């Protein structure tokens, strides 16, 4: 595998605080290429051989704003078994339902745009149903649970100019921990 030449913006970049625009179809060849590059980058970041060779931080998702493009597109690569990956291309997503149950990632959420240690919990819905388009412009509905639900919510936040660190209570980083389930 060849490491794609993509630049991931740092949290200090003001572009990450802007709201992304809806995408129209067909996608441009540049957008299709950026989708493929992001998918490849994420997969390589999760394979030990590559993340050590190229000094990559493991990542599960990338939103277009992180790559300098204010479009409502993100990709997720989920390693569901050793060396086996599910890949999601999500365009113009809308959350159409969510569970009342809240969860948080025990070791804390991370982000390829936030290059520092953070402490605190990010409340997320345990299950969400998302309606979105794939890269061909076909509408689909997807129900995400647990880690995938967290990843989808995290990336949708990016499309709205929100970083996970914004959701951590500054005065009490572990606020309401007892009302949520740790994953």
Per-residue pLDDT, 58: 94
In a domain, 147, yes or no: yes
22 is catalytic: no
Per-residue pLDDT, 125: 98
In a domain, 120, yes or no: yes
Report pTM.
0.96
In a domain, 3, yes or no: no
In a domain, 7, yes or no: no
The CATH number linked to 151 is 3.90.45.10
In a domain, 152, yes or no: yes
In a domain, 9, yes or no: no
pLDDT in tens, 137-156: 999 999 999 999 999 999 99
> Nearest CA to 98 among 121, 122, 126, 74?
126
Question: Which residue range is the domain that position 68 belongs to?
Answer: 14-182
In a domain, 176, yes or no: yes
- 72 Cβ neighbours under 8 A, 6+ residues apart: 20, 21, 22, 23, 64, 91, 92, 93, 159
Q: Find the catalytic residue in 48, 119, 146, 155.
A: 155
Per-residue pLDDT, 118: 93
In a domain, 4, yes or no: no
In the chain, how many domains are there? 1
């Amino acid at each position: 595998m060849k490491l794609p030449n993509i630049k991931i913006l740092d949290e200090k970049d003001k572009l990450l605080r802007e709201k992304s625009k809806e995408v129209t179809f067909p996608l441009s060849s540049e957008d299709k290429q950026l989708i493929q590059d992001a998918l490849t980058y994420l997969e390589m970041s999760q394979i030990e051989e590559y993340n050590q060779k190229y000094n990559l931080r493991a990542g599960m998702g990338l939103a277009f704003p992180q790559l300098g493009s204010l479009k409502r597109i993100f990709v997720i690569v989920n390693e569901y078994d050793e060396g086996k990956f599910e890949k999601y291309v999500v365009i113009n997503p809308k959350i159409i339902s969510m569970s009342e149950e809240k969860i948080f990632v025990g070791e804390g959420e991370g982000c390829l745009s936030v290059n520092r240690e953070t402490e605190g919990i990010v409340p997320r819905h345990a299950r969400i149903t998302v309606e979105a388009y794939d890269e061909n412009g076909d509408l689909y509905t997807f129900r995400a649970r647990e880690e995938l639900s967290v990843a989808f919510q995290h990336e949708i936040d990016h499309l709205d100019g929100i970083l996970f660190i914004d959701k951590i209570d500054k005065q009490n980083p572990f606020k309401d921990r007892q009302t949520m389930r740790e994953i």
